[in-house]
């Protein structure tokens, strides 16, 4: 028997790429003061892409349409394509989660992070480029 290769910790890294079928990324949010939700992403939908979260530490709230799901460590949430959604850390403590997404959603996130102009028009254009849309309240 061969000696197994030990996989390195994901710990903030990404498994997959924009050319892959799916991408898994570990991300975190440090939390903040009590008050209204601090959205990690604006309310949006992906026309042809599903997206899922697996909570490693803390609590994640996910809005799916009009419903809010609270996911604690060990829980997962799937948002089917075409469903308006946003998510946030509801508490003051640290949140760590895995985001499982298609390469298209990962590419959208990369494009958003690279934007210097995050005006509503610029954000709308980048979402449209990735077959997604911002949803007005």
Q: Write out the two tokens for 58.
A: 């803390």
Q: Are 69 and 79 in contact (CB under 8 A)?
A: no
DSSP alpha helices (H): ranges in 7-119? 103-114
Q: What residues form DSSP beta bridges with 7?
A: none
Who's near 55: CB < 8 A, 6+ residues apart? 71, 72, 73, 74, 75, 76, 95, 96, 97
Report how far residue 22's alpha carbon sits from residue 106's, in angstroms, rounded to the nearest whole number.
Answer: 9
pTM given for the model: 0.85
What is the DSSP code (8-state) at residue 137? -
- Placement of tokens 């308006």 in the chain: 84
Report how far residue 106's alpha carbon sits from residue 24's, in angstroms, rounded to the nearest whole number.
Answer: 9
Q: At what angle do helices 120-129 and 103-114 cross, to 10 degrees?
A: 150
The one-digit pLDDT tens for each residue of the chain (137 residues) are 567 765 566 666 666 666 768 889 999 999 988 888 999 999 999 999 999 999 999 999 999 999 999 999 999 999 999 999 999 999 999 999 999 999 999 999 999 999 999 999 999 999 999 999 999 97
């Amino acid at each position: 028997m061969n000696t197994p290769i030990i996989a390195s910790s994901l710990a903030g890294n990404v498994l997959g790429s924009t050319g892959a079928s799916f991408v898994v990324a570990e991300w975190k949010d440090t939390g903040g003061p009590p008050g209204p939700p601090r959205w990690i992403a604006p309310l949006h939908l992906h026309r042809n892409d599903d997206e899922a979260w697996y909570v490693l530490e803390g609590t994640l709230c996910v809005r799916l349409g009009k419903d809010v799901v609270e996911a604690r460590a060990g829980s997962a949430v799937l948002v089917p394509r075409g469903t308006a959604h946003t998510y946030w850390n509801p508490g003051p403590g640290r949140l760590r989660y895995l985001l499982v997404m298609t390469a298209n959603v990962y590419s959208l996130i990369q494009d958003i992070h690279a934007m210097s102009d995050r005006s509503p028009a610029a954000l709308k254009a980048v979402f449209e480029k990735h077959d997604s849309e911002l949803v007005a309240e």
